[in-house]
Amino acid sequence: MKRLYDLLFGDPKAAYARARANTTPADTGIAETLASLDGKDSFHFGSLLNGAPVRLAPDGLGHGLTCGASGSGKSSALSLIIEGFAAVPGHRAEVIDPKGETCIVLAEHAAMTLLRLPQPERETFARRFQVIDVRADAVTPANLFTVPPQMSPALLASLRASAMVNAGEHEFSDLMQHGLFLVFSVAIALQRGVTKKFVRRLLLDDAFRQHTLAPKIHDAALRDSIEHLDDVLPAATRQALVRQFDMHLSTRLGRIWFGLSPAAVARLAPALPDARIVIGNFGPSLLLSPSLARTQAVNRLIDVVTATMVNANPVATLLLIEEIGTIVRHPAVARFLLEGLRTLRWKLLSIVCCAQDPTNAIPKDVLHALLLNMRWLLAFESGREDASILLPYLPPRASEGERKPAFLAEMATLPSQHCYFLRKGLPPLRMKTRDLPDPKTTGKSRDELLDIFYSEIAAHSMVRVADAERLIDEEERDWISGDIPPQSPQNASGPAKDTVRTVDDLFALLGRNKGTGDPP
């Protein structure tokens, strides 16, 4: 009798224990997932359909992938994660947003928070942000030509060239890629910005190249390439390179981003020692062409990853990369990101990639490698192909045959904010993200909030376009006169003995130093 009772109603002791823990048998795995995500400094991310809160502990997060249809709630969810992460003392968040929309969500939210603070606290709050953006009259300067410690100038030049190739709409020939590499190599060797005049002088003006440029270059191999550039690059390739740079440098902002020398950036760029959230808005606009925007997004990725590598005292950092498909188009950039994912966890870097439709937007092998390195997946409304990404991670069930189509059908019709949060190895959570505060409650329109963001917060990071242009003009005047000042000590001696020359070497070196706490 007892056995029949247990069979029908379960073991009463166990049932009582479950009731006390407020779980049902089907929920036991869910409770385990909730507990594993929660922990020190956790923040409220959303709730299960039964109302149970889902809390995320920043330190346990690790790398993640977010996907879902347009408007399904990815950016809003990611902004909850960014703010929750950066709210913990000693933690930082970085956003690289090639679309610019997540930045707008973050900007609106930052402006709303600022408005709620008493006046004396607003300045401190504003200085928690560094904003990389462009406006008609202001821009955040970028330093593309300072070689990070331990990196060879050649590796930096090849990464900057890859960033430009990655952004292009068409294939670049090997010769064109080599030409881009040489242009960046010379700019790095001489610690100069790349301007249209510089590119023309370097590629088309034989006398200037031979007599003025080459003698200033200490690296013998690079000097040799520059002295024999006519042999290295046919005239048609040099002309094509000039056109390529003309296109990139045709806007005022393109000219500033590429044209500022490291010395000029040091003079202009404001110090923001308290910045804990770096918002990189690389959304194309009338001011910023799509290809320049993509190039700079990749350059930023290169800078964040290399800065993390060489940082002897790493800070827990969450790097969110929106529209990952546009970032990993060039194999060199994809490899750079993947190596970062594989090796930088011990440097406390968590990378979160986001895509509307990863199966379509990301090359198969790159997606496969991303998935291998991810600790969690956050999937909103998704079509069959993208939802299938989750299938291998779902716990097996007896009714597998029926469950798979039911799951795919459910994923295709998830309402906005509804999603599956999957921590690998644990049952997934079917949940809804927490509501962001409604901007309307401030009595301000979205445009007014963005104005507040730019004038009170972003203004600390940006400089006047006119000031940057003046510095570039001054430096160009020296350049045209042929009066190239002596090199900085960093590059004057050529590459140091232990510098690394390839991405593989760089990450290998990093591996050797792993765990020592010393810079590689």
Among 54, 56, 62, 74, binds ligand ATP (CB under 6 A): 74
Q: How far is the CB of 177 from ligand ATP (least distance, A)?
A: 32
Report 353-372 residues binding ligand ATP (CB under 6 A). 356
Question: Judged by CB under 6 A, does residue 101 bind ligand ATP?
Answer: yes
Question: Judged by CB under 6 A, does residue 417 bind ligand ATP?
Answer: yes
Closer to Mg ion at the Cβ: 219 or 322? 322
Closer to ligand ATP at the Cβ: 416 or 490? 416
- 439 vs 116: CA distance, rounded Å: 12
Question: Judged by CB under 6 A, does residue 461 bind ligand ATP?
Answer: no
Q: How far is the CB of 222 from ligand ATP (least distance, A)?
A: 43
Report 124-143 residues binding Mg ion (CB under 5 A). none
Kindly report each contact of residues 297-300 with a partner whose C-beta sits within 8 Å and lies 24 or more positions away, as own/partner. Answer: 297/96, 297/97, 297/98, 297/326, 297/327, 298/162, 298/163, 298/166, 298/167, 298/327, 298/330, 298/333, 299/142, 299/144, 299/160, 299/163, 300/96, 300/132, 300/142
> Is residue 316 within 8 Å of residue 284, measured between CB atoms?
no
Helix (H) or strand (E) holding 458: none
**Piece of the chain touching ligand ATP by CB under 6 A; list 47-55, 66-74, 129-137, 221-229:** 66-74
Closer to ligand ATP at the Cβ: 166 or 417? 417
Among 24, 36, 50, 70, binds ligand ATP (CB under 6 A): 70
Instruction: Return the one option of ligand ATP, Mg ion, none that residue 71 interacts with (CB less than 5 to 8 A, by type).
Output: ligand ATP
- 491 vs 153: CA distance, rounded Å: 8
Closer to ligand ATP at the Cβ: 411 or 500? 411
Question: Judged by CB under 6 A, does residue 42 bind ligand ATP?
Answer: no
Question: Judged by CB under 5 A, does residue 150 bind Mg ion?
Answer: no
Report 419-458 residues binding ligand ATP (CB under 6 A). 433-436
Report the residue number whose CB is nearest to Mg ion: 75
> Is residue 287 within 8 Å of residue 253, measured between CB atoms?
yes
What angle separates helix 465-480 from helix 252-259, to the nearest 10 degrees? 60
DSSP letter for each residue of 434-457: PPPPPGGGGT--HHHHHHHIIIII
Count, residues near ligand ATP per rule CB under 6 A? 16
Nearest CA among 135, 81, 134 for reference residue 105: 81
> Is residue 100 within 8 Å of residue 282, measured between CB atoms?
yes
Nearest CA among 135, 99, 82, 107 for reference residue 452: 107
Nearest CA among 179, 178, 181, 187 for reference residue 155: 181
3-state SS, 201-254, equals: HHHHCHHHHHHHHHHHCCCHHHHHHHHCHHHHCCHHHHHHHHHHHHHHCCCHHH
Among 73, 100, 283, 325, binds ligand ATP (CB under 6 A): 73
SS3 for 169?
A: coil
**Piece of the chain touching ligand ATP by CB under 6 A; list 74-82, 122-130, 342-350, 479-487:** 74-82
Closer to ligand ATP at the Cβ: 171 or 438? 438
Closer to ligand ATP at the Cβ: 74 or 329? 74
**Distances 65 to 68, 181, 351, 388 between C-alpha atoms, Å:** 10, 32, 9, 14
Dihedral of CA atoms 229, 235, 238, 243 in degrees, nearest 10, equals 160
Question: Judged by CB under 6 A, does residue 153 bind ligand ATP?
Answer: no
Closer to Mg ion at the Cβ: 64 or 193? 64
Question: Judged by CB under 6 A, does residue 66 bind ligand ATP?
Answer: no
Binding mask 469-508 for ligand ATP (x = CB under 6 A): ----------------------------------------
Instruction: Return the one option of Mg ion, ligand ATP, none that residue 359 interacts with (CB less than 5 to 8 A, by type).
Output: none
Among 33, 66, 75, 350, binds Mg ion (CB under 5 A): 75
Among 42, 75, 343, 382, binds ligand ATP (CB under 6 A): 75
Closer to ligand ATP at the Cβ: 11 or 435? 435
Question: Judged by CB under 6 A, does residue 71 bind ligand ATP?
Answer: yes
Q: How far is the CB of 76 from ligand ATP (least distance, A)?
A: 3
CA–chain centroid gap for 145, Å, is 19
**Distances 123 to 85, 144, 395, 460 between C-alpha atoms, Å:** 21, 29, 49, 10
Catalog residues that contact ligand ATP under the rule CB under 6 A: 68, 70-76, 101, 356, 416-417, 433-436
